[in-house]
């Protein structure tokens, strides 16, 4: 899980002076393995500004097509005159907003920019691609073309959020909740003793009977399904810079607004989402096991022969998705280049059985970010918030309208409780924490705790890994700090005993071992 | 020989006649002089001064004599024996001196001569290091336990709380072994063990009732490509302690003890939360860098190659034995608790002896082995 520090600060008010390295140290203490802290934009120096392409002259007679452009950069060049720039990229036109780096600037990798003669002209700077700015692939296949609303002369270092720190966390299989900003923010808040702004705490309308019809045929495979509909999306709407930048920093490639929003919400809340083009679904959405040998073509264009254990999403024609892994080509969102383009979408936020997803993802060799999260355990109670967040973003960014229909199918489940003696963590650790500390720490991770000498602990929905008293003991001990454990030495009841004849004698008489002894046993 | 009271006349006792005594003495002196070695002298000593020597026998006759004769004969025999002992001691000293002089010559060593002995050999450093680590625990009272390398999947995974679909089970890339009835690899239920941890389960089942304190060194397999930091066949050492009232503090203490025994007295370890199915709580264990002792951290002037200027070296995984594992192995988790840890020997050899490429350890070139000798 890649966590941009600027994004993390949205949920926890970390002190402004706190660096990525500082946060790394704190998170390691509470048990998140932050492997690296990537420094974005190190050594980057302006001027790097928004420019508007005024003229393009195609230069002839070179091996590759070359353009001589004039670009309005406002007063950023000191004169207000159009900036003359030679450029080899072709994915822009007169009138486009681009990112211009001016002489005197330094790009990542110690790349100093100066006016230079090239192709018979003098280029006073460069029109930049994402790669040159250390942003990663933005899907444009060339230089960055900005949305038209950004003003000429605006500082692009800030606009493109080029300076940031990204924590890369290796999430262990038991802590699926940490594959989300929400989960990492929770741990950060605990580590710093600061309050958390939980992004899943959203106002969600109550389910009603006029949402998109859904029928669950296999409640064990799918115990929760939220469906929401947004209509009237502008097919030409594109993801805003902030959204793209967050996805990029988190290691995902921006694709299209609808897909980007779904990915963004998954990164934020940990709940995988799928969006269907409503005009391409027919009838009720269902969830069932596949029929042995049933055929289905996934988004990637591969026709798959399904197994009777596979969990599929269907409409009245048959499968439209392999649950939690990949959607079908038959209901794919069409982007604005395609004929028509999608205007109405149905959003699926569902909770699938971890084992079913793990098995069919493996069976069809389809690892995905969604499958990775389902396998490790997704918060079943996050579906309505995640669907709501997706609706909100689509309305905000694509001018859509949220339909009032809210479908929510919930298989009844009892809250999970664990009972244990209040001093169990003390017994495991060999440290006297005391009941008060134990209760406080368990509450911090989201548990409800009752009882005196014997505690009844209700674990939070996002922690399926908490199932036994020792799991709770670990939570207490890690938050109290593994580094604070004392060092004591147990005494085995028997004394030392000889354990090998030893090949030392053979070695003494000259033998040399090409391989360890175990190799020839 | 005559018994006392055979006759009352001392003159009649042949052995005590002056000329007899003299003859006995002279014979003894001649025998000593003739002895040309310490062994020969020893023989002569027995023959002429031992309990059955002529002089000793004559001496016994004295007791039967009347008082007057007794004194006279006693004096004669006493003088003879005195002379004999004196001669013996003298000859003994002479012969010893001769022997010492001879030994000094015979056993003299010319240190300038070229030697013709075989040079001392070397055991493979992985073996030596593995035994060295095991010795630390054997000295504490742990027992060495072993298990098969071709292992039942149940011991390798299920007994250790890896459920069939657990993501962790996919994390370890396993060599499956074809079954006896031609069953394909992943159906045979037999694997090349991916870690030494199945020995934990075996040890608990075999020993039935704790306390169990074992250390298990051994070879393990994973489907890694051979490169500078991976090999598909490598070595681990595993430790398991199950007893009443064992705590995580005991685990920490045992780890501290180990790194102090292997790397020096002021070494310490650090635990960081992690996840393993067979321990709960689980931790990653690091030891302080024995080269820079952490002084390279944030100190670009003194970078440390051993720890990459991190100050800590990753050792391996550890934790409190998951009560589910105890239950699966027939141990009552209400009564007993335990801790376990395991780490790779190759990696330790690398950072302990600056071996930069793991391939050197497995390619079987004795030129790699030789400098390690027999101590590590
Ligand atoms: Zn170091």
pTM assigned to the model: 0.79
The 10 Å Cβ neighbour count of residue A511 is: 16
A49 or B177, which is more confident?
A49
- Interval B292-345: pLDDT, tens: 998 998 888 989 988 888 899 999 999 999 999 999 999 999 999 999 999 999
Categorise residue B344: left if φ over 0, alpha if ψ from -120 to 50, beta otherwise: beta
For position A137, what pLDDT does the model report? 65
Residue A93 at interface with chain B, using a CB cutoff of 8 Å? no
What's the CA gap between A123 and A431, in Å, rounded?
69
Burial class (CB in 10 A: 0-12, 13-18, 19+), A140: middle
Contact check, Cβ <8 Å, B121/A509: yes
* Three-class SS state of A402: strand
Nearest to A510 among B118, B170, B281 (CB): B118
Contact check, Cβ <8 Å, A507/B142: no
For position B169, what pLDDT does the model report? 65
CATH 3.30.930.10 location in chain B: 125-372
**Residue A411 — φ and ψ, nearest 5°?**
-80, 130
- Interval A303-335: pLDDT, tens: 999 999 999 999 999 999 999 998 888 878 776
Instruction: Answer whether A443's CB lies under 8 Å from A476's CB.
Output: no
Mutate to test the interface with B, among A490, A496, A515 (most CBs of B within 10 A): A490
CA B302 – ligand 1 centroid, Å: 9
Residue B136 has pLDDT above 80, yes or no: yes
Contact check, Cβ <8 Å, B211/A173: no
Report the DSSP beta bridge partners of residue B242: B212, B338
Residues in A closer than 8 angstroms to B126, CB to CB, are 516
Contact check, Cβ <8 Å, B119/A510: yes
Instruction: Answer whether B248's CB lies under 8 Å from B219's CB.
Output: no
The 10 Å Cβ neighbour count of residue A392 is: 16
Q: End-to-end CA distance of chain A, in Å?
A: 44
Q: Indicate the length of chain A as a whole number.
A: 521
Residue A284 has pLDDT above 80, yes or no: yes
| Cα-trace Rg, chain A | 28
Nearest to A482 among B171, B271, B275 (CB): B271
Q: Which CATH architecture has domain A417-484?
A: 2-Layer Sandwich (3.30)
Residue B153 has pLDDT above 60, yes or no: yes
CA B310 – ligand 1 centroid, Å: 7
Residue B349 at interface with chain A, using a CB cutoff of 8 Å? no
The minimum CA-CA distance between A473 and chain B, rounded to whole Å, is 7
State which CATH number among 3.30.70.20, 3.60.21.10, 3.50.40.10, 1.10.3720.10 fits the domain covering A214-410: 3.50.40.10
The whole-chain average pLDDT of chain A stands at 90
- Interval A285-305: pLDDT, tens: 999 999 999 999 998 889 999
User: pLDDT confidence of B113, banded at 50, 70, 90?
Assistant: confident
Nearest to B246 among A490, A503, A516 (CB): A490
Nearest CA in chain B to A479: B273
Which residue is associated with the tokens 């030893």? Answer: A502
The 10 Å Cβ neighbour count of residue A363 is: 15
Mutate to test the interface with A, among B281, B297, B361, B363 (most CBs of A within 10 A): B281
Q: At what angle do helices B18-34 and B54-61 cross, to 10 degrees?
A: 160
**Residue B255 — φ and ψ, nearest 5°?**
-65, -45
Strands A145-146 and A126-127: unpaired
CATH code: domain B125-372 is 3.30.930.10
For position A385, what pLDDT does the model report? 96
Q: In angstroms, what CA-CA distances link A461 with A278, A358, A380?
A: 31, 20, 7
| In A293-434, alpha helices (H) | 354-363, 369-376, 383-398, 424-429
A2-41+163-192 and A417-484, same CATH topology = yes
B239 or B16, which is more confident?
B239
Residue A256 has pLDDT above 80, yes or no: yes
User: pLDDT confidence of A450, banded at 50, 70, 90?
Assistant: very high
Q: Please name the residues between 19 and 38 in chain A that touch chain B, using a CB distance below 8 Å.
A: 28, 30-31, 33
Nearest to B165 among A358, A515, A517 (CB): A358
Contact check, Cβ <8 Å, B249/A488: yes
Asked: is A48-159 a CATH 3.40.350.10 domain? The reply is: no
Asked: is A2-41+163-192 a CATH 3.30.56.10 domain? The reply is: yes
Copy the structure tokens of residue A471. Answer: 């799991």
H/E run at residue B30: helix B18-34
Instruction: Answer whether A267's CB lies under 8 Å from A247's CB.
Output: yes
């Amino acid at each position: 899980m890649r966590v941009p520090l600027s994004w993390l600060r949205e949920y926890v008010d970390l002190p402004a002076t706190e660096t990525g390295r500082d946060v790394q140290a704190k998170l390691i203490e509470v048990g998140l393995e932050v492997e690296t802290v990537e420094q974005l934009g190190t050594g980057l120096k302006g001027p790097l500004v928004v420019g508007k392409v005024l003229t393009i002259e195609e230069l002839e007679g070179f091996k590759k097509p070359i353009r001589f452009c004039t670009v309005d950069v406002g007063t950023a060049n000191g004169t207000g005159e159009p900036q003359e720039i030679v450029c080899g990229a072709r994915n822009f036109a007169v009138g486009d907003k681009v990112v211009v780096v001016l002489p005197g600037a330094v790009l990542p990798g110690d790349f100093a920019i100066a006016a230079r003669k090239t192709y018979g002209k003098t280029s006073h700077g460069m029109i930049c691609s994402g790669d040159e700015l250390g942003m990663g692939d933005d899907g444009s296949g060339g230089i960055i073309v900005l949305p038209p609303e950004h003003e000429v002369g605006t500082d692009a270092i800030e606009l493109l959020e080029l300076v940031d720190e990204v924590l890369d966390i290796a999430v262990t299989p038991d802590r699926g909740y940490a594959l989300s900003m929400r989960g990492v923010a929770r741990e950060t808040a605990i580590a710093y003793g600061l309050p958390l702004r939980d992004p899943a705490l959203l106002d969600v309308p109550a389910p009603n009977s006029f949402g998109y019809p859904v029928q669950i045929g296999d409640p064990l495979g799918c115990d929760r399904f939220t469906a929401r509909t947004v209509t009237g999306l502008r097919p030409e709407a594109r993801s805003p810079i902030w959204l793209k930048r967050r996805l990029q920093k988190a290691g995902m490639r921006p694709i299209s607004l609808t897909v980007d929003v779904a990915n963004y919400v998954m990164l934020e809340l940990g709940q995988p989402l799928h969006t269907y083009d409503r005009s391409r679904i027919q009838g009720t959405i269902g969830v069932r096991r596949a029929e042995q040998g049933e055929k289905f073509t996934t988004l990637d264009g591969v026709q798959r022969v399904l197994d009777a254990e596979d969990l599929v999403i269907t409409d009245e024609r048959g499968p439209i998705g392999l649950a939690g892994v990949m959607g079908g080509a038959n209901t794919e969102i069409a982007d604005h280049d395609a004929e028509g383009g999608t205007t109405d979408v149905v959003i699926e936020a569902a909770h699938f059985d971890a084992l079913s997803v793990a098995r069919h993802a493996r069976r069809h060799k389809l690892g995905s970010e969604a499958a990775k999260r389902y396998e490790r355990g997704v918060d079943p109670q996050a579906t309505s918030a995640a669907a709501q967040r997706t609706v909100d973003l689509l309305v905000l960014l694509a001018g859509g309208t949220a339909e009032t229909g809210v479908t929510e199918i919930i298989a009844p489940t009892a809250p999970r409780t664990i009972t244990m003696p209040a001093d169990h963590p003390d017994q495991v650790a060999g440290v006297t924490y005391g009941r008060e500390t134990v209760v406080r720490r368990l509450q911090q991770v989201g548990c409800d705790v009752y009882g005196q000498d014997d505690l009844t602990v209700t674990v939070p929905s996002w922690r399926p890994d908490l199932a036994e008293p020792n799991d709770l003991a670990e939570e207490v001990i890690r938050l109290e700090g593994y580094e604070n454990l004392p060092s004591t030495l147990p005494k085995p009841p028997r004394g030392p005993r000889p354990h090998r004849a030893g090949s030392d004698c053979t070695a003494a008489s000259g033998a040399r071992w090409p391989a360890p002894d175990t190799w020839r046993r | 020989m005559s018994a006392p009271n055979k006759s009352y006349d001392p003159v009649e006792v042949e052995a005590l006649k002056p000329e007899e005594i003299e003859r006995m003495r002279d014979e003894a002196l001649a025998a000593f002089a003739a002895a040309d070695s310490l062994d020969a002298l020893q023989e002569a000593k027995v023959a002429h001064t031992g309990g059955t020597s002529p002089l000793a026998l004559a001496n016994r006759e004295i007791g039967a004599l009347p008082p007057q004769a007794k004194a006279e004969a006693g004096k004669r025999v006493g003088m003879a024996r005195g002379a004999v002992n004196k001669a013996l001691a003298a000859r003994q000293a002479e012969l010893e001196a001769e022997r010492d002089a001879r030994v000094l010559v015979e056993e003299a060593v010319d240190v300038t001569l070229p030697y013709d002995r075989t040079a001392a050999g070397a055991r493979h450093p992985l073996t030596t290091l593995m035994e060295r680590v095991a010795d630390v625990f054997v000295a504490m009272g742990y027992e060495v336990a072993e298990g098969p390398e071709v292992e039942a999947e149940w011991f390798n995974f299920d007994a250790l709380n890896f459920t069939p679909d657990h993501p962790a089970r996919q994390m370890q890339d396993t060599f499956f072994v074809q079954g006896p009835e031609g069953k394909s690899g992943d159906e045979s239920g037999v694997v090349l063990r991916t870690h030494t941890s199945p020995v934990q389960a075996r040890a608990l089942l075999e020993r039935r009732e704790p306390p169990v304190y074992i250390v298990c060194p051994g070879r393990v397999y994973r489907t890694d490509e051979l490169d500078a930091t991976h090999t598909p066949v490598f070595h681990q050492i595993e430790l398991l302690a199950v007893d009443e009232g064992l705590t995580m503090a005991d685990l920490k203490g045992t780890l501290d003890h180990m790194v102090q025994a292997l790397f020096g007295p002021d070494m310490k370890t650090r635990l960081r939360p992690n996840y393993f199915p067979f321990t709960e709580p689980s931790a990653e264990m690091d030891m302080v860098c024995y080269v820079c002792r952490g002084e390279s951290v944030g100190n670009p002037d003194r970078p440390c190659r051993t720890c990459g200027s991190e100050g800590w070296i990753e050792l391996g995984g550890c934790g409190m034995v998951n009560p589910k594992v105890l239950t699966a192995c027939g141990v009552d988790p209400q009564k007993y608790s335990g801790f376990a840890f395991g780490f790779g020997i190759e990696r330790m050899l690398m950072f302990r002896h600056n071996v930069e490429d793991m391939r050197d350890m497995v390619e079987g070139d004795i030129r790699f082995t030789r400098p390690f000798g027999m101590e590590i």
